[in-house]
Structure 1
Amino acid sequence: MTPLQKAKNLMDVGQYIPALTILETLNGLSLKSENYRLLFMSNCWFNLEEYDWAIEIADRLLQKNPKNELASQIKYLSYCKLKDYDSAFDEIIGFLSYNKADHYKITLEELLTDIRAGFINDEDIISKIKELALQNDCVK
């Protein structure tokens, strides 16, 4: 078993600190393995409620791989946990302006529900969310 797989197994059972200990020492990885390492680290920090670290690591991954939807989602959810909703909207809108939604489809559907319920009132954000939802077949 590779150290990366061992770290993933630890994450899967909620052992985030031991997983991070392994992940932080790995180097010389292939590009694909490095992307997984960063994604796993960001996920660990998110689950440890260290949202600033989760954002920083996810951002490093997105600089290498701008199409990594899971990294973008970790950033989005971290900003939500920090109650930085402007940055959360910027993240989802920025990502989906250049990429198709897969995992984000559920988030778009939830945002449409929030718009209908009156929880989101900024007309520019409402317009952009509706546009992205249409582009990604999320409109019911």
Structure 2
Amino acid sequence: MDLTMKEDLQKAKDLIDNEQYELAIDVLNNLNELSSKDYSYKLLFLAYSYYKVEKYDLAIHIADILLQKNSNNEYASQLKYLAYCGLEDYDDALDEIINFLSNNKANLYKVTLEELLLDIKKGLINEENKTCKIKELAVQNNINL
């Protein structure tokens, strides 16, 4: 891989760190011929940047591509979950977390599971099959309230 590509990937990350998401998107969209690992970083940075500029559909699309490459990428799944929440599509958001955690252990999602359990307790989530599955996943991941 060309050293300038690696430098541009770092430049995009620096822009993201400085909350310059639109500029980061421009840099990332011009990056080609990356190694598989760097391509995954590019996609993750893109999904995050699209999420931060409220282009939720694009964030979901990019996160989907990442999850097709690596179905246990919790960062990609969480970005997809958050983007669905940004769209106020809570059914798909819950489906994303349930689908991901049905096949993977929670790490980043531990706090989200705790919040969902509180929402269930408050009656904010009351669809029985989803509440049961969330409670089951919480138990599997040693989360109790």
Question: Which residue, 98, 120, 133 being the options, matches 2:138?
Answer: 133
Secondary structure of 1:2's counterpart equals helix
Secondary structure of 2:76's counterpart equals helix
CA shift, 1:47, in A, is: 0.3
Q: Percent identity?
A: 57
For 1:60 and 1:3, locate their aligned partners in 2 and report how far apart those are by CA, in whole Å. Answer: 21
- Structure 2 equivalent of residue 23 of structure 1: 28
CA shift, 1:98, in A, is: 0.5
Q: Give ranges in structure 2 of 5+ residues lacking alignment.
A: 1-5
Q: What is the Cα-based RMSD across aligned positions, in Å? A: 0.9
Secondary structure of 2:103's counterpart equals coil
Counterpart AA for 2:76: A
CA shift, 1:2, in A, is: 1.3
Runs in 1 of length 4+ with deviation above 2 angstroms? none
For 1:118 and 1:131, locate their aligned partners in 2 and report how far apart those are by CA, in whole Å. Answer: 17
The answer to whether residue 63 in structure 2 is matched with residue 58 in structure 1 is yes
- Structure 2 equivalent of residue 7 of structure 1: 12
1:31-73 deviation line (CA, Å, top 9, x unaligned): 1111110000000000001100100111111111111101101
- Which residues of 2 match residues 1-140 of structure 1 at below 5 A? 2-140=7-145
CA shift, 1:22, in A, is: 0.9
For 1:24 and 1:8, locate their aligned partners in 2 and report how far apart those are by CA, in whole Å. Answer: 13
CA shift, 1:11, in A, is: 0.3
For 1:81 and 1:14, locate their aligned partners in 2 and report how far apart those are by CA, in whole Å. Answer: 18
Secondary structure of 1:107's counterpart equals helix
Q: Provide TM-score, normalisation by structure 1.
A: 0.97
For 1:138 and 1:50, locate their aligned partners in 2 and report how far apart those are by CA, in whole Å. Answer: 32
CA shift, 1:81, in A, is: 1.2
Q: Provide TM-score, normalisation by structure 2.
A: 0.94
For 2:51 and 2:94, locate their aligned partners in 1 and report how far apart those are by CA, in whole Å. Answer: 18
Counterpart AA for 2:142: D
For 1:12 and 1:32, locate their aligned partners in 2 and report how far apart those are by CA, in whole Å. Answer: 20
Q: Give ranges in structure 1 of 5+ residues lacking alignment.
A: none
